[in-house]
Structure 1
Amino acid sequence: MARNTFNVDEELETPFNLKHLKRLTVYIRPYKKKMILTVLIMLIASGANLIGPFIIKHAIDSEIPDKNITGLTLLSGVFLAALVISGICMKWRIRMMAEIGQSIIQNIRKDLFSHLQSLSFSFYDSRPHGKILVRVVNYVNSLSDLLSNGLIQLITDLFSLAVIFGFMLAIDVKLTLLTLAGFPVLAAVIFFIKTAQRKAWQTLSNKQSNMNAYIHESINGMKVTQAFTREQENKRIFHRVSTGYKQSWLKAMYVQFLLWPSIENISVLTVSVIYVFGIAWIGHSVTVGALIAFIGYIWMFWTPLANIGNFYNAIINAMAYLERIFEMMDEQPAVKDNPDGKVLKTIEGKVEFESVDFGYGEKEQVLKNVQFKADPGETVALVGATGSGKTTIVSLISRFYDCTLGRIKIDGTDIQGVTLSSLRKQMGVMLQDPFIFSGTIMENIRYGRLDATDEEVLEAAKAVQAHDFISGLQHGYYTEVNERGTRLSTGQRQLISFARALLADPKILILDEATSSIDTETELAIQKGLERLLAERTSFVIAHRLSTIQNADRILYIDDGRIVEEGTHEELIGKRGWYWKLYNSQRLPSETG
């Protein structure tokens, strides 16, 4: 991953693509009936609004000269009724479109979150989590105005333009043609602004993503920051990142607000021209009422045009977000079920590595021709220097990654030919970095087996010696812990994670440095509980402290991605090789002397 990823803008070279809008219609389609009803209601409201200038024309040209009080009263009643109808319809539109828009956003976010659950470890290894978070939250939220107002407003404005144009033609054809003279200028302005606006909003979304990534990283690493008194340097970096966001935002706003003043100025110029010619034609082909009504319709004519311009703005802005949302939805899991994948039936736990190679990248080969067998119920320990490939080996067993060459088989079945769910359900994994979720301790232990009873949870906790410290908490197993369990010690978090893995009652158990943060006294107590729990399952144990794996059935010494030694503790000590050197390096001087 690139250094300082919060400063690296995501490349997005895809041109304006209507396919993204077509994909958006998939989420709109379930609400088609409600939207059609809303459109019909808005058309009624639009018609009620547009009748106003025509009523005024009739009043000025006919009823007022004739001093027809009854006619004026009737026209006033019609005008008032039109305003009431318009108000009621607008209230309906706001309520319905807010509900529809938020439902669509919820569905998009649900699909995006569900897709994230299926993506492989390699996806999260190569991306800052803050940049993932900003797409799920901020980018989806940015579609709110487009979905809640834009689509219905666009249809209403197009209808309004057609009706207004009809009224204008009915009043005076020559004035209507003068009004249309501003159209070429408006088209030129929109074309000029289009490219600049899209680029500006793409840049803004990049800077927003960078800022979120840095904030997320800084919060996660706050303890390290304060321990190394790096606060001032972090403030300097954040100032640079946030300044980049501010400048991008100002530029995006500057470009966005060019459209509205352009439409406003064109409309004012057009109205001025109409006044000049209209006044000159009064008494010839234009009446006073007709001119006043026509001016009213001109202002109405440019308002929907301005709204359409705003909708265009919203589309341009939304494109920058839609591209990234759908880009993430289109991300394919590096590890996924084969089309003809079968469900792995209940296993005994025999594991075979056949000439397995693996690399995280084309030039980064981690495992080289790894071959070994683990029989059901056997405990296999993996030891070796940091970075030698131990964690990679156990990650391949669960298919968190797929091997580059070779095969991994469980009970004689190639794991790439079975479904991921049926494979992983039969495994218990305690990763090197124990993760505690927000919620109660009971919920955290039950995380991998939701149907477990409270008694089973307590039994698992007792087996790993976690029961005593949990019972000592204020609310025992129902004590609320926050994200990552920061109120618990590292050792306590590992014990809870250990209980979680054991409660799943897997046939294959993987412990990656499971006792690295547990004191020696607790470690000895855990060993007693593990004797029963490990007896009937195949177990893979990674440990730097060799005291924890001396009783393993077999020990594999891994060096530079290869198995260089294999045997029991006594056999490897007798060989006086790699393992013997490591063992002696951990013994006290009094033991070696």
Structure 2
Amino acid sequence: MNQETKSGQIFDLPTLKRLYTFVGPYKKQFYLLIFIIMVSAVLAPVIPLLIKYTIDEPIANSNYDQLALMLGIMIVVLVVQGLVQFVNTYLSGWLGQYIIRDIRVQLYEKIVNLRLKFFDNTPIGRLVTRTISDIETLSNVFSDGMAAIAGDILQLVLIISVMFYTDWKLSLISLSMIPLMLFSTYVFKEKIKDAFNEVRAAVSNLNSFVQEHITGMSIVQIFSSEKIEYEKFREINVQHRDSNIRSILYYSIYFPVADVIAAAGTGLVVWYGSKQILNYEVTFGTVTAFVMFINLFFRPIRQLADRFNTLQMGIVSTDRILKLLDSDEYTANEGTHNPDTIKGNVEFKNVWFAYNDEDYVLKDINFKVNEGETVAFVGATGAGKSSIINLLSRFYDINKGNIYIDDVEVHDFELGALRRNIGVVLQDVFLFSDTIENNIRLGNPDITHEKIIEAAKLVGVHEFIERLPGGYEYNVMERGSTLSVGQRQLISFVRAMVHDPRIIVLDEATSSVDTETEELIQKAIEKLMEGRTAIVIAHRLSTIQEADKIIVVDKGEIKEEGTHEKLLEKNGFYANLYRMQYKDVLKIAG
């Protein structure tokens, strides 16, 4: 069953036990909440008993002094009840908010440490639902969940006990409507559970659709698909609306029905109690107390249906969140090798890799890059070039073979140490909605403003940045939308430089810039690569002709390797790529 629509068991003890481990740092507040709930339950039948006594004694005997005393006691009890209710409401909400804060932080920490394969298989909208909506549901578990249910049940037990102690005949009459109330509550609970499942699925669909289409809005507008996408959104929104209206319908039916049942119970008590009063078998105060008992009794029963659904939804959300927190399938295993720096020797030995564990995109890859060398990978789109650098940085893990850096297997590296020493400039540049300086620094306190300026001057973008409003404090907006493709590329290059990696990876780093910008990058590359290992992936063969070694990849296999001149002499794959790329120039030269 789809995770977004499946229901949970109300008393899923393993999940509840795990959920309440998050209470650990707040045990004092939690136990105080339990105590307050118990006090609230104990105070519930006190007022009806006081009113019974007041009617039967001070009022019946015209004892004004005793009446004033009883009124004073009732006022004190009401004030105490109000204070207890305030503490109960505030403390349960406080506890819920602190706990979901902790869970949300843990969940986000888990997400940022997952391998990219997880994000390939999981819609972003679903992760948004996990991090926002599902966790928000958990706050209700602590404010209206097990503790509140226990309080309601305790209140019911106390009220029934007091009722039977006071008058067992009136108690039986009062409780005669209980089977009907329990039946209607059960039906409501089942119906509202299905409605909530539909609402949750609709929310997840909305999150996924909105996130995906806002991110890809340029494609929607380029292909004039606004009306088509609008109709899709309208349909999803209609499903969301209908699901919510269905839940509203069940609420609008249940609570009036519950009120009618409670009123019928009250009517029976008044009818039977009046006869008993006339026959002098019970007092007027007793009947009055029972009328109040009925209201106190049926109120928690009505609330229990809602609380059980809240708990059930919380169990489902908790189960999904815990599965994500506990998942090791996509977690990059942490090694222990944590060197301050590396030399930069890279070796792939018999490496096989598949994104879906079936269709290999890399087959028996073997190559070695010595410290300080520049190696370029060329090949057609989909040949597997980008997959090689993804494996080097452990964005994905290989299926077979070994990858070594300085003769140490990459899995033995502490992941942060590995990636700290590998600087990557990707073809698709991502900039956060923040200042240029923060996009370059990425929160690293060791990178000073002076170091950023130095790197920007090296790349040749310092003057361009200074011309922007605010200079390095200029906000590039989401994904760097206020900058050109070439400007974003240059900033990402500065970002790689300031982190001072020992291995530089350029994945189509100059494919999206004009000739003038490419010349700036090429000059910066020459300075950056001094004393560093460089791995370059490019379609423009002109950018890699000076590489120490060129490796030709085709359909996941290495076909050729050597220098530019030697590969041309072989007249093989590389020579064919060269002729195809420079056919117009060669025609003119010929």
TM-score normalized with structure 1 length = 0.93
Letter in 2 for 1:173: W
Which structure 2 residues correspond to residues 188-207 of structure 1 after superposition, within 5 A? Answer: 188-207=183-202
Equivalent in 311, 316, 341 of residue 315 of structure 1: 311
Counterparts of 1:146 and 1:399, CA distance in 2: 38
Counterpart check, 1:324 vs 2:320: yes
CA contact (8 A) 2:377 2:535 kept: yes
Distance 1:417 1:375, change over 3 A: same
**Runs of 5+ in structure 1 lacking a partner?**
1-7
Counterpart check, 1:374 vs 2:369: yes
Residue 297 of structure 2 corresponds to 301
CA contact (8 A) 1:356 1:370 kept: yes
Equivalent in 323, 332, 339 of residue 336 of structure 1: 332
Q: Secondary structure at the match of 2:383?
A: coil
Residue 243 of structure 1 corresponds to 238
Give the C-alpha shift of residue 429 in structure 1.
1.3
Counterparts of 1:43 and 1:367, CA distance in 2: 64
**Runs of 5+ in structure 2 lacking a partner?**
none
Give the C-alpha shift of residue 134 in structure 1.
1.7
Equivalent in 521, 529, 547 of residue 524 of structure 2: 529
Q: Following superposition, which runs of at least 4 residues in structure 1 exceed 6 angstroms of deviation?
A: none
Counterparts of 1:115 and 1:273, CA distance in 2: 58
Equivalent in 462, 470, 493 of residue 475 of structure 1: 470
Equivalent in 277, 283, 288 of residue 284 of structure 2: 288
Equivalent in 9, 12, 20 of residue 25 of structure 1: 20
Letter in 2 for 1:400: F
Distance 1:232 1:145, change over 3 A: same
Give the C-alpha shift of residue 49 in structure 1.
4.8
- Structure 1 residues 345-364: Cα deviation after superposition (integer angstroms, max 9, x where no partner): 63211111111111111332
CA contact (8 A) 1:121 1:401 kept: yes
- Structure 1 residues 427-469: Cα deviation after superposition (integer angstroms, max 9, x where no partner): 1112221111122111111127431122211121122222121
Letter in 1 for 2:72: G
Give the C-alpha shift of residue 564 in structure 1.
0.8
Residue 54 of structure 1 corresponds to 49
- Tell me how large the CA RMSD over aligned residues is: 2.3
Letter in 2 for 1:442: E
Counterpart check, 1:126 vs 2:121: yes
Residue 208 of structure 1 corresponds to 203
Letter in 1 for 2:81: S
Q: Secondary structure at the match of 1:493?
A: helix
- Structure 1 residues 324-357: Cα deviation after superposition (integer angstroms, max 9, x where no partner): 222322332435225x743356321111111111
Residue 114 of structure 1 corresponds to 109
CA contact (8 A) 2:192 2:247 kept: yes
Counterparts of 2:309 and 2:321, CA distance in 1: 19
Residue 4 of structure 1 corresponds to none
Distance 1:286 1:14, change over 3 A: closer
CA contact (8 A) 2:5 2:198 kept: no
- Structure 1 residues 62-83: Cα deviation after superposition (integer angstroms, max 9, x where no partner): 2122111111111111111222
Counterpart check, 1:271 vs 2:266: yes
Task: Compare 188-197 and 157-166 and name the one that shifted more.
Answer: 188-197
Distance 1:350 1:212, change over 3 A: same
Residue 563 of structure 1 corresponds to 558
- Structure 1 residues 66-115: Cα deviation after superposition (integer angstroms, max 9, x where no partner): 11111111111111122222222323333333222211111111111111
Pairs aligned (count): 585
Which structure 2 residues correspond to residues 158-557 of structure 1 after superposition, within 5 A? Answer: 158-255=153-250, 259-282=254-277, 283-337=279-333, 341-344=336-339, 346-447=341-442, 449-557=444-552
CA contact (8 A) 2:186 2:305 kept: no
Give the C-alpha shift of residue 373 in structure 1.
0.7
Which structure 2 residues correspond to residues 25-104 of structure 1 after superposition, within 5 A? Answer: 25-104=20-99
- Structure 1 residues 477-520: Cα deviation after superposition (integer angstroms, max 9, x where no partner): 12122121110111111111111111111111111111112211
Letter in 2 for 1:68: N
CA contact (8 A) 1:335 1:400 kept: no
Give the C-alpha shift of residue 232 in structure 1.
0.4
Letter in 1 for 2:236: V
- Structure 1 residues 531-576: Cα deviation after superposition (integer angstroms, max 9, x where no partner): 1210211111111111111111111111100111111111111222
Task: Compare 362-371 and 87-96 and name the one that shifted more.
Answer: 87-96
Percent identical: 37
Which structure 2 residues correspond to residues 125-164 of structure 1 after superposition, within 5 A? Answer: 125-164=120-159
Give the C-alpha shift of residue 194 in structure 1.
4.5
Give the C-alpha shift of residue 258 in structure 1.
5.6
Letter in 1 for 2:17: K
Distance 1:256 1:396, change over 3 A: farther
Counterparts of 1:251 and 1:30, CA distance in 2: 39
Task: Compare 150-159 and 504-513 and name the one that shifted more.
Answer: 150-159
Q: Secondary structure at the match of 1:509?
A: strand
TM-score normalized with structure 2 length = 0.93
Counterparts of 1:259 and 1:30, CA distance in 2: 39
CA contact (8 A) 1:256 1:313 kept: no
Distance 1:448 1:393, change over 3 A: farther
Distance 1:311 1:443, change over 3 A: same
Letter in 2 for 1:343: N
Counterparts of 2:204 and 2:228, CA distance in 1: 20
CA contact (8 A) 1:118 1:333 kept: no
Distance 1:374 1:402, change over 3 A: same
